[in-house]
Structures are given as structure tokens and as C-alpha cells.
Structure 1
Amino acid sequence: MQKELRQHFNDNFSQEKYAAYLQEIENLHPGTLEFRIAETPIFIPKDFTQKMLDACEDIVDVLVQPGFKALTEKAIPIDAIEGGEKDHPEFIVFDFGICENSTGALEPQLIEMQGFPTLFAFQAFHTAISKLYAEVPNTYDAYLNGYTETTYLQLLQEIIVSDCNRENVILLEIYPEHQKTRIDFYCTEDLLGIKTVCLTKLIGEGNQLFYEADGKKIPVKKIYNRLIFDDLHQQNFTDKIIDITRPWDVEWIPHPNWFYRISKYTLPLIDNPYVPPTFYLKDLEETPADLENYVLKPLFSFAGMGVLIDVTKEDIIKITDPENWILQRKVKYADVIETPDQPAKAEIRLFYFWKKEWARPIAVHNLARLSKGKMIGTRYNKDKNWVGGTVAFFER
């Protein structure tokens, strides 16, 4: 997006440099990097960054209003976690596409948001490696609101661990060793000194949770939750697992209910020029005549699963559970990142952290993704180059 930096990077790119860059990332935890790392970071001008941040502030205004929980109560499944929900989530992420408007100008458009963590630890390492690899000038930074790598990691530690004994804090996933994002789990262990524990390994006694380490049974006081319960419900387990939905005496970070509350479910509540008009399918009185300009999305899914891009009236008629779907105005991703063959599209995920004593969350960091397919995501970018996970560096 910044022509001089893009030109400088592209002119100085080589496969040898990229291979060395990948090897450095792979060396963080050999054999655990299972998603593609893009050849280039993204360079974002000030005005574009400010538009994203302003849109996020409008969204946060909705999240902090007194009636927000009442507005999103129907988002919570019947078989959700009992008890322990706090007034707000500790983490929120906002995904913005770099899009073209009707005049051809570039603007951010919100694609999705989640009251759920992402690759917070890995991205600290990834950013440091990328900054050296791409020779990013000091006038650009991946961190926001004055945060640095040091203060960002300190904040992450304060939110997840705080004054708790580290052995009593766990990162929870299901079969973490098989997850494509597992490199982040191990980076989290490195940075925070906590254990990654599989749901199948949790032990329940009374209202207490435990895990075993070195032959000892360790009490669990805090759960840094990386388990997507929507996905969990669709799996068949050969291992016995405890009923995690019971009101266990643990602190959830964040509580799983926020995965549902701050999600696609929230999009129809937002009014901002950088948030595409979105409607609950159940409330749609009349099907838009220009359906080709809309996308149909299931409310509770992830990684683009179930999304219908080319929507027809027949598709809508077939929906038997309209309460679980939204219709969203399409956005036009811009072919904005120049690459050796065809330009790539880009999406930026802003990290917002929310300490207990803060009235509002704060933007602190990011990750980005490049795509040459119909959508952002691995399944749409097979056998393509200059696509995958990366970092956005913002003009200061």
C-alpha cells in the first residue's frame, strides 16, 4: 500500500532470503509450523490505520453499552459453560479486509470479529523476525497505541497469569498437538511459562479441575481458553472427557460465552461506514433483489466454513434454521499487494486487549493474511505464492 516500501521490498526480494526467513520461524519450534507464511509483510499508511481504529471504537461503543448482554443472550447455546462469565472478554480481534469502494478508493471493511484469542504469542516472535527480514524502517511499527514488544508481552502476562502461580494456569485445547496453530501454544509456553493441556487430560473432583505433570496432580485456577466449543460439539471422541460445561471453580480467560456474543452475531448491531450492512436472516422481511451483492454466513462457524459467496433465493429458502444465519453486503477486496505474478488481497486482524480495571479495550498488535483466492484462507490458496500469514507494519 506504501508504494516506495513495496517497490524496495520487491526489488530486494530473493528466494534465498525468504527460505532463510522461513527457517528462522521454523526454528522457533521445529515441525510445528503448519500454516503458510507469506513472502512479504504489509505496509499500512496512517490514514488507513486510523479508519480501522475509528471503526473499532464505534464497535466498542456497542459492546460497552449496558444492554449488550441482553442483546446477545440468544447467541449463547443451551449447552454452554455454566457460571463464571465476566463483564467483558479479555481479548477481542477485529478482521478488516483492504477493500475498494464504489469510487475505486481503498478503505477497510470489517469482515468478522471474535471475543476470542488468536496467535498472540507467536506473532510477537513473527513480528521481530519479519522486521529484520523486510528491513522495516523505524517509522513503521506492528504494535499500536505506543506498545512495544516488551510492554505487549508484559500486558499479555498480566492478563493471563497476573499474580497466580504459573503451574495453576493452563492453555486449554482439544488435541493441541494436532492443531494447525499449535506453534502458538508452544510460543505461549515459552513466553508465559504455562502448560498446554488437552481437554481429555483434565481431571474433575468436586468442583475442582486438575491436570497431571511429573506424576503430580496440579490444581487448575485459570484457563487461557483456546478451545472453540462450536467445533468441539461437532467432534466424536474416542477419549473420555469431563463435562467442561459444569460450573467449575476456575477463571476463564476469556469466558467461552464471549466467543458467541462478540462474533458475526454482533454485526447487525453495528452502524459504521467500514462495517458492511448485515441482517439476521430470521428478521429479513424481503429478500434483496440484488442478492449477487450479498454473502450468506452461518453465525457459528470459523475459518470460512459454510459461507455461501454466490447466494441465490433457493439457497435462502433451503435454510431450515434462519436464526443461525446472517446476510451480509459483499465487499470488494482490492488486489493491492504487488507480487511477481498477480497482485494479492489482504486482511488485517487487530488485537484488542482488555484488562479488568479498564473501561474499554485497547488496540495493541496485529496479524495479517494475504490471499489470491476467492476468500482469505488456506483452502482457497493452495499452490499459490505470496499468500499466507504475515504482519502489518503501520506508519507511525
Structure 2
Amino acid sequence: MNPVLRKTYNANFTPEKYKNFIGDLNEGLREPIAFRVAETPVFLTDDFRDKLIVAGNDIVKTILQPNFKELTERAVPEKWRVANENDHPHFLALDFGVCKDSAGNIVPKLIELQGFPSLYGFQVNLADKFHDNFDIPTDQAIFFSGLDKEAYIDLLKKTIVGDHQPKEVVLMDVNAPEQKTAVDFYLTQKFIGTPVVALADLEQEGNQLFYRVNGEKQRIKRIYNRLIFDEIECDPDIFDKVVDIRQPLDVEWITHPNWFYRVSKFTMPFLQGDYIPKTQFLHQLKQIPADLENYVLKPLFSFAGQGVIIDVTENDIKNINDPENWILQEKVNYEPVVQAPDGGVKVEIRLLYLWPNGDEKPTLAINLARLSRGKMIGVRYNQDFDWVGGTVGFMSSKEEPRAKNQDSR
């Protein structure tokens, strides 16, 4: 972390500035932001930024393997398998904990990964508001790959809208306006024009989908999918009430729902690199490690940290009745590297990639960060603390900003 920028930021921070910052973030929104935004951004050094890029490249290499879909076929639950899968995910989200290695160096360590979109719209607005309210130096940005804000939004639009009209592409979630991430949905609509709809808003005629605008039907040619099937798991009859989106439909998925499962914890045992913790499928474990205190047990098919066993015992492992659906992962110990007024705070950095149709590989585009004082990263584990929550990583860039409309490869 950049100690010079941290010292300056903390010296100039006041609760009043933070209050004004949150007010600025909420101004003009349909509803106030439903999750906690941290009091500070993260300031990355060039060295740590470069380590993140290397770590991401190691993971992308595996996803680019010709046999990746074959390796991950078991990851897709038959109950939630959706027809007409394409050949690559349009989004990648890679979560890295900020840790200390055996030599005392600050390094990223992979925590989880997703073939699913994240806060691609909100993070741009968040960075702008940090700049406006806290005098972040103008040479500090949140983009990678030579992107600036304009080029980033062009790439986002290329990925989601493609050659279609924005009105033909809908951002869809189970009940989009009521999601905690709805702020991201409507900021995305502001940036690229895609309307926001709920699952129940979809209408089917033959194999085509429609939604209504002022009572008039509008054909849907692409769905920017934000729906996670875990959120409708509790309603087994859901598709008796709404369109069954698993069937073959004349619609493009951005990104296809199957990629949520393929690029996930399921991918971890196939990855290699200096920044990848040792991970095994539990059913392939030949011997229980003697140092179980250095491992964590994770269910493959859950999200938001649910079901994770941090303090693993031999009995925990022996009592798992579906070991093929669990992984045993080397524990990642976060280092409290962000200096708050009253002590260190742990950090997780999420690298966000965009992979539009026609590009040979994904482009590392932007980042998201989360600060934590709890035992785990995430809102539910940090409810009683300050200087925690969602934020963004600022860094300098050695690359020249790419020109508008430049190809993303």
C-alpha cells in the first residue's frame, strides 16, 4: 500500500467529509445505497498493482485452455443448466486477499473467482466521488490496461450491448429494483442505456422474449444477466410463475448463466501460480493434512461466504457426506495493511475483466476493494465496525490511456 498517499489522506480525513461524500454518492439515486461504503479508498503501489496483474494473468491462462469447459462440466448443476451456452464468459471477477508471504512481502492471494458481473457501473461513480470529496491526486485512477473513463465505458458498452440497440438489451435480476446492488443497475443504465427489468417482467412468445415500455412490447435480443439461481432456490415452483429462462430461447446471454458455475470455487483446484493457494477437491483428498489449522473448508455451490468452515477439524471433513461438492483450501491470512485512525484494516481486491464477443481474451478493466475488521470479508461479518465496507483501489498507470473506440485486445 502507498504510505505517502495514506498518510496524506488520513491527515485530511474528517467525519464531516465522509458524511458529505455519502450524501454525494446518494444524490440523484432512486434509493440510498443499500450497502456500507468505506471511509477510505485503497492506495496501491506500482509493485503491488503489477503483482495483481501477474496473478490475474495466471488465472486467465487456465480459463483460456481449450479443455476448460470439459474440466468444469460437473460444475453446472443440472437443475440450473441453461440452454444455448456460448464459448466464453463475458465477465471475470477475481478476488485477492492482501497478505504477507513467508519472506515478509505483501502479496495478493486468490480467495475466489466468478464468471459473473460485479459492480461495473457503481465503481466508476464511486471513484469520481472519492476524487470530488477527498482531493485524490489526479494521477490516481482505478483503471487497468491503459483505459480511461471514456474508453472503459466504451468497452463496457461493447461487451454488454454489442451491435444491438440499448433498448434491445435488458439488465435482468430476480427482483432488480429491490436488490442491494440496484444502485449499480441504474448507474449502468445511465452509462450505456440498458433498461433494468425483473425476472417477472419477461414475457414469452414462441422462443422470443419481450418486456413492456409504457405498455408497448419491446423485443429482447440480449440479457445482461445479474440473476443468481441461489436466490430463487427457495421457490421450487418459480418457473411455474415466470418465464423458464433455462429453455432454448432466441436471446443472447451476457454472460451465460452456466459460466457462474464454471468460473467459481470449482476452478480453484485447476489453477497454478505463486498467488494461488493450494486447493483440492475434498473427494480427491488422499490424506488429511496434519496442519488443518492452515486450511479452510468451502462448499462449492454456495455464495457470499455461506457454509464456509474456517476452523477445520478432522471430524468436519469426515462428516461431509458429499465431499465431491467441497474443496479444502490453504488458508489465506489477510494482513491489516490499510492504516485506519485506530489500527490496521484487512483488504480484498477484486479484479474485474470484460470480454466482449470477438475479442481473443478478456481485458483487465477496473477494480473493486473491500475493507474488513471481522473474521471474514463481507457486510454480515463487519456490521459493528467503521472504516470497513465497499471501496475502490487507486493506482498510478505507466500506460498511456487508450484512444476512444480502440479495439479492446
Counterpart mapping for 1:235-314 below 5 A: 235=235, 240-314=241-315
Cα pair 1:299 1:324 within 8 Å, conserved: yes
Q: Which residue of 2 aligns with 1:37?
A: 37
Given that 1:296 and 1:307 are in contact with CA atoms closer than 8 Å, whether structure 2 keeps it comes out as: yes
- Matched letter for residue 370 of structure 1: L
Q: Specify the alignment match of 1:77 in structure 2.
A: 77
C-alpha displacement at 1:311, in angstroms? Answer: 0.8
Deviation at 1:335, TM superposition (A): 0.9
Cα distance, 1:230 vs. partner? 3.1
3-state SS in 2 of match to 1:338 = strand
State whether residues 144 and 365 of structure 1, in contact with CA within 8 Å, keep that contact through their aligned partners in structure 2: yes
* Correspondence 1:227 to 2:241: no
Between the aligned partners of 1:285 and 1:21, the Cα distance in structure 2 is 53
TM-fit CA distance, 1:102: 2.2
Indicate whether 1:190 and 2:190 are aligned: yes
Letter in 1 for 2:253: W
For 2:150, what is the secondary structure of its paired residue? helix
Q: Deviations over 1:302-357 (max 9, x none)?
A: 11111111111111122111111111000110011111113110011111111222
Please say if 1:140 is aligned against 2:167: no
Per-residue CA deviations over 1:261-285 (Å, capped at 9, x if unaligned) read 1111001001111010000011111
Instruction: Name the counterpart of 1:122.
Output: 122
User: Deviation at 1:40?
Assistant: 0.5
Paired residue for 2:376?
375
Query: Deviations for 1:83-114, whole angstroms, at most 9, x for unmatched residues?
Result: 32111111101111111122332110011110
Which whole-Å CA distance do the structure 2 matches of 1:139 and 1:178 have between them? 36
Distance 1:41 1:28, change over 3 A: farther
Q: Is the 8 A contact 1:41 1:393 kept in 2?
A: yes
Question: Aligned partners of 1:230, 1:258: CA distance in 2, in Å?
Answer: 14
The alpha-carbon deviation at position 371 of structure 1 amounts to 0.5
State the AA in 2 paired with 1:143.
F
Question: How far apart, CA to CA, are the structure 2 residues paired with 1:166 and 1:278?
Answer: 41
For residue 236 of structure 1, report the CA deviation from its aligned partner: 5.8
Distance in 2 separating the partners of 1:32 and 1:173 = 19
Tell me which residue corresponds to 2:89: 89
Asked if the contact 1:40–1:134 (Cα under 8 Å) also holds between the matched residues in 2, the reply is: no
Question: Letter of the aligned partner of 1:211 in structure 2?
Answer: Y
CA contact (8 A) 1:79 1:245 kept: no
TM-score with structure 1 length normalisation? Answer: 0.97
Comparing 186-195 and 345-354, the one that deviates more: 186-195
Do 2:82 and 2:257's aligned partners in 1 also have CA atoms closer than 8 Å? no
Say if 1:236 and 1:181 are closer, same or farther in 2 by CA, change over 3 A: farther
Deviation at 1:30, TM superposition (A): 4.6
AA in 1 matched with 2:251: V
Residues of 1 paired with 2:41 and 2:164: CA distance? 36
Alpha-carbon distance in 1 for matches of 2:154, 2:233: 34
Q: Which moved more, 1:80-89 or 1:232-241?
A: 232-241
Aligned equivalent of 1:331: 332
Task: Report the Cα offset of residue 132 of structure 1.
Answer: 2.7
219 and 81 in structure 1: CA distance in 2 versus 1, 3 angstrom threshold: farther
In structure 1, distance between residues paired with 2:252 and 2:233: 22
Cα contact 1:46–1:395 (8 A) shared by 2: yes
1:44–1:393: 8 Å Cα contact kept in structure 2? yes
Distance 1:68 1:236 in 2: 31
CA distance in 2, matches of 1:218, 1:136: 43
* Consecutive aligned runs of 4 or more in structure 1 exceeding 4 Å deviation: 236-239
**1:340 counterpart residue number:** 341
1:190 Cα offset (Å)? 1.2
- Report the Cα distance in structure 1 between the residues aligned to 2:292 and 2:51, rounded to whole angstroms: 28
Structure 1: segments with no counterpart, 5+ residues: none
What's the counterpart of residue 173 of structure 1?
173
1:38-57 CA distance string (max 9 Å, x none): 00000101111111111111
- TM-superposed CA distance for 1:212, in Å, is 1.9
2: CA distance between counterparts of 1:325 and 1:81?
A: 20
